Chains A and B, each alone.
Chain A
């Protein structure tokens, strides 16, 4: 089955700096890669996703890149703000798995004011 590894497990940055979280996956059939943000005490929520026919996608201060050959994808947050502090999860899904997502172990991002 699919295996998703996520690094780093914790990340601390100064407000205004950029943050990068990286994930690798094992199943070459995976074709959908979402990122979820979970604030303290809240439910995970989708913040951005990318499909395998696209190499990069951007939404304001967040962007995701995908390298299908290397089987890795990354989340980039620019101009970080304290409200970006949360746990971020990457995931991978494929049609062969009927859309069931395999999640990474999460990255705790702390943005220091």
Chain B
């Protein structure tokens, strides 16, 4: 079934660790996005991509990086996690306008 997947779903790590949040979609969408969202709060766009080898920073300043080597895969990397990174991270994809969201990764940095 065509969908968008995120792993891990929950992650607790210590300050200073490097982590990668995985996002994959099987819908053949060119556009992919990463959002940061505290529960029930605003969606903050942190990175987006319009296709392979295309990445842009979003509206929220972030110490993360992304890559888009394959159409279906859009991982997010935090080089050095801090407690301020504690949040939920949502990945999304779209063909044109309508966005399909993944289930999210809830990250806690201790």
Contact = CB atoms under 8 A, between A and B. Distances in A.
Interface in A81-113: 87, 89, 93, 98-101, 103, 105-106, 108
Contact of B98 (A46, A89, A108): A46
Given A89-B43, A100-B48, A106-B41, A44 B90 contact: yes
B104 A99 contact: no
B43 A44 contact: yes
A12 to B, nearest CB: 15
A111 B45 CA distance: 29
Interface of B: 31, 33, 40-43, 45, 48, 50, 90, 94, 96-99, 101-104
B40 A32 contact: no
A32 B99 CA distance: 12
Nearest to A34: B98
Interface string A19-53: 00000000000001010101010111110010000
